Amino acid sequence: MSEILFQDLGISREVLKAVEGLGFEKPSPIQASAIPVLLEGHDVVGQSQTGSGKTAAFAIPAIEICDPKDRSVQVLILCPTRELATQVADEVHKLAAHKHGIHAVPIYGGASYERQFYELKKGVQIVIGTPGRIMDHLERGTLVLSSVKMVILDEADRMLDMGFRDDIEKILRSTPEERQTVFFSATVSKPIREMINRHSRDPKSVKIDQKELTVPTVEQWYYEVPQRMKFEALQRLVDFHGFKLGIVFCNTQRMVDELADQLVAQGFSADRLHGGISQAQRTRVMDKFKKAEFEFLVATDVAGRGIDVDELELVVNYDLPYDVEDYVHRIGRTGRAGRKGMAITFVTGRDIYKIQHIERFTRTKISRGKLPTAYEVEERRVEGLLIDVRARLGKGNLSTSLVDRLLEEGYSSTDLCAALFDLLGGGEPVEEPKPVSKAVSATQKKNAGSHQLRPPSRGMQWVELNVGRELRVSPRDIIALLEDSLGLPSRVVGIIDIAPGASFAQVPKEYLDVLRDGPRMVETEVKPVEISLVPLMSPGDSKKQRKS
C-alpha cells in the first residue's frame, strides 16, 4: 500500500496539525488519491468501501478551499441521514480545529429551526445537512447558496435510494454552475451516473479496488471483545499461550502510547514504535526488538512496516486495520521462514462484518476464538510451573545446601516446598470460577473420604493409579510409571494429585487410547499398579468425586 504521508498531499499546516491530533498516521488509499485531485479543483467521483476514510478525503479539501474572511456558505455537504450528518460535522469540526475563522454547522431534520437560523445568520462556511432540511431552509430563504464553491454528495447512492433525487437536483441548481462537484458512493448505478453527467464537468474518477492478496500461512483467529475489555483479553491470551515475542498493532499513535504504558505497568516488557517517534529512537527500539530484549512491540502500521524478526510468534490486531492490505502486511510479520505464527484480531461488535470482508479478499479463514477464562489461564500457568519443576528434578544435580539449612531449622519439607511455590506465585489453589452444580449428589455424600478432582485442562484427561501417599510415591515416580507403561514422551504429564491410596495425573487425551479398553496393570518393585482412565465429566458434573 501507499507510503504517501499526509505531508505529501498539499495540506495546510493547520490541517496537518489537526490530522495529527486525530491520531491518523498516514492517509488511507482513498484519501491519498482523492485529496490532491480535489485540491487541484477537479470534480471527483470517489468510490471505496465503507470504513475506508472517505469523510476526511472530502472534508480536508473542503476546509482548505474555504476563505475564513468570507462568512458566506462556501461548501455544502449532503448526507443521507442525520446521524451521518452529525458524524461528518464532528469530523469537519475536528479537522478545522486549528483553522481560525472557519465554521461548520450540521443542518438536519428533527432539530430546532431556531438554533439553525441563528447559526446560519452568524455566518458559516461549511453546511452539512440532509437534503430535506436543506430544501426547507432554501425555500424559507434562511440558507443562501450563491457563494458555494464545492458541493459534496456523501453516500450518493443511499440518498437516491431514500428518494432524495428531486431535492438534490433542486439544491444543485441553487448553487453556482462553476462550483466543484464531488460524488462519493459505494456503487455507481445508472441513476447516479446520470446525475453525475448532468451536474459535473469532466469528473475524475477515484476508485480504490481491494486487490486480492496472498496471506502467509499463519493461524488466524478473531475475538469479539468490547473496547474496554481489550487489554484484559490481550493479557489472558498472552498468558494462556505463553507468548514471548509479539507485535501488537494499533491504529493511532495515541492508542500505541496508551497500550505500551499499560503493558509496562502490568509487568510486561514492552516498547513502542510509531511515526511520532524520532528516527534515531525508532532504530534503537527496532534493534532491541530484533534481539528479543523485550517481549512486546506496540506499533502503528507505518512504523511496523519494516519489522522482520524471524522468531516472532504473535501478531495482534488490537485495532482492526481499516484496510485489507494493512491486515495482510501486519500478519505477514509472523510465520516467516516457514515458522509457526499466530495472528489474533480483536473486533468490536458492529465491525464483525469487516472480518468477513478480510476473509473474502484474502481468501483465507479467520476462525472465531473464545477467550480462555481466568481459571483456564491460571491452570495453564500452574501446569507450566509444575512442568518446569519436574524438568529440574529430572535433571538432578540440584544443590541442596539451602534446603538442608532450612530442614535443620526444623521446617518440614512439605512446608518448605509450599513456601517456595508461594514465592513462585503457584501456591494458591486454583479456584474454579463457578461450580456448575451446587447440589451435592447422594454418592458424593456417601463417599466421605473421597477425593475431589478439578476438571482437567483442555485436551487433558485424568488417569488414576492405585498407589498413593501411603507408599510415599512422588510425582517423579508417577511420571516414570506413566511414561514407561503408556509409552508417553517426556514432559507431557500435567498436574499430578497424590492422595491416600490413589494418585491422579493429567495426560493429553491423544496418548490414552491404550486405556480405552480397560485398565493396565504394571509390575513394580513394591506392588502391581493399576492405571485406569477417570471418565471425562459430563457438563454439569464439574467436580468429579473419586473414591480413594
Interaction partner, residue 52 (ligand ADP, Mg ion, none; CB < 5-8 Å by kind): ligand ADP
Which secondary-structure segment (H or E) carries 234? Answer: helix 230-241
Closest CA to 34 of 182, 196, 195, 198: 182
User: Pick from 494, 20, 531: which is nearest to 300 by CA?
Assistant: 20
User: Which of 254, 288 has the CB closer to ligand ADP?
Assistant: 254
Rounded Cα distance, 483 and 481, in Å: 6
Question: Which partner in Mg ion, ligand ADP, none is near 322 (CB below 5 to 8 A by kind)?
Answer: ligand ADP
Stretch that binds ligand ADP, among 22-30, 117-125, 234-242, 328-336 (CB under 6 A): 22-30
| Residue 28 binds ligand ADP (CB under 6 A) | yes
- Whichever of 22 and 138 has its CB closer to Mg ion, that residue is 22
Which letter does DSSP use for residue 106 in this model? E
| Shortest Å, Cβ 8 to ligand ADP | 13
Torsion of CA 152, 156, 159, 164, to 10 degrees: 70
Looking up cell 504521508, which residue turns up?
5
Q: Are 380 and 457 in contact (CB under 8 A)?
A: yes
Is 87 or 147 the residue whose CB approaches Mg ion more closely? 87
Candidate residues 26, 54, 82, 137; the one interacting with Mg ion per rule CB under 5 A: 54
Contact positions with ligand ADP (CB under 6 A) in 331-370: none
On whether the CB atoms of residues 18 and 321 are closer than 8 A, the answer is no
Residue 284 DSSP one-character state: H
Residue 68 makes CB contacts below 8 A (sequence gap 6+) with: 99, 100, 101, 102, 125
Q: Is 317 in the site for ligand ADP (CB under 6 A)?
A: no
Beta bridge partners of 464: 504, 532
9 binds ligand ADP (CB under 6 A): no
Size, binding site for ligand ADP by CB under 6 A: 14
Report the C-alpha dihedral over residues 506, 509, 510, 513, rounded to 10 degrees. 100
Q: How far is the CB of 231 from ligand ADP (least distance, A)?
A: 20
The full 3-state SS of 369-385, as one line of letters, equals CCCCCHHHHHHHHHHHH
Residues 49-108 that bind ligand ADP (CB under 6 A): 50-56
Q: How far is the CB of 144 from Mg ion (least distance, A)?
A: 27
Residue 324 CB, shortest distance to ligand ADP, in Å, is 14
What residue 28 binds from Mg ion, ligand ADP, none (CB within 5 to 8 A, per partner kind)? ligand ADP
Find out whether 430 and 421 touch, Cβ atoms under 8 Å: no
The least distance separating Mg ion from the CB of residue 54, rounded to whole angstroms, comes to 5
The secondary structure of 157-176 as a DSSP string is: HHHHHTT-HHHHHHHHHTS-
Terminal CA-CA length for the chain = 65
253 belongs to the binding site for ligand ADP (CB under 6 A): no
Q: What separation in angstroms does the CA of 18 have from each of 11, 21, 33, 404?
A: 11, 5, 20, 67
Whole-angstrom Cα distance, residue 439 to residue 128?
Answer: 63
Q: Which stretch binds ligand ADP (CB under 6 A): 24-32, 368-376, 403-411, 417-425?
A: 24-32
CA triplet 297, 324, 30: central angle to 5 degrees?
110
Instruction: Name the minimum Å distance from CB 271 to ligand ADP.
Output: 22
Based on the shown chain and the rule CB under 5 A, indicate whether residue 42 belongs to the binding site for Mg ion: no
To the nearest whole angstrom, how small is the minimum distance from the Cβ of residue 248 to ligand ADP? 16
Least separation in angstroms between CB 38 and Mg ion = 15
Residues 446-485 touching ligand ADP, rule: CB under 6 A, are none
Nearest approach in angstroms of CB 57 to Mg ion is: 9
Assess 24 for contact with ligand ADP (CB under 6 A): yes
Handedness of CA 18, 24, 28, 32 (dihedral sign): positive
Using CB under 6 A as the binding rule, whether residue 27 contacts ligand ADP is answered as yes
Interface residue with ligand ADP, options 322, 346, 361, 511 (CB under 6 A)? 322
Cα three-residue angle 29-32-33, rounded to 5 degrees: 85
Residue 137 touches Mg ion, criterion: CB under 5 A = no
Give the binding-site size for Mg ion (rule: CB under 5 A): 1
Q: How far is the CB of 312 from ligand ADP (least distance, A)?
A: 24
Name which of 185, 137, 177, 216 is nearest 30 in CA terms: 185
Q: How far is the CB of 92 from ligand ADP (least distance, A)?
A: 11
Minimum distance, C-beta of residue 361 to ligand ADP, in the bound complex (Å):
16
Residues 6+ apart with CB under 8 A from 440: none
Instruction: Please state, in angstroms and rounded to a whole number, the distance separating the CA atoms of residues 304 and 291.
Output: 16
Whose CB is nearest to Mg ion?
54
Output 49 or 373, the one with its CB closest to Mg ion: 49
Is residue 317 within 8 A of residue 346, CB to CB? The reply is: yes
What single DSSP character describes residue 324?
Answer: H
Considering only CA atoms, which of 422, 433, 425 is closest in space to residue 376? 433
Nearer to ligand ADP, 60 or 145 (CB): 60
Q: Which does 51 bind (CB under 5 to 8 A by kind): Mg ion, ligand ADP, none?
A: ligand ADP
Residue 528 to residue 515: CA distance in whole angstroms? 16
Q: Which is nearer to Mg ion, 79 or 195 (CB)?
A: 79
Residue 235 vs 252, nearer CB to ligand ADP: 252
Minimum Å gap between C-beta 53 and Mg ion is 8
| Residue nearer to Mg ion on the CB measure, 28 or 74 | 28
CA dist., res. 91 & res. 89, Å (int)? 5
| Binding of ligand ADP by 503 (CB under 6 A) | no
Residue 24 binding partner per list ligand ADP, Mg ion, none, with a CB distance cut-off of 5 to 8 Å that depends on partner kind:
ligand ADP
The answer to whether residue 275 forms part of the interface with ligand ADP (CB under 6 A) is no
The listed partner (Mg ion, ligand ADP, none) that binds 327, CB under 5 to 8 Å by sort, is none
List interacting residues with Mg ion (CB under 5 A): 54
List interacting residues with ligand ADP (CB under 6 A): 24-25, 27-28, 31, 50-56, 251, 322
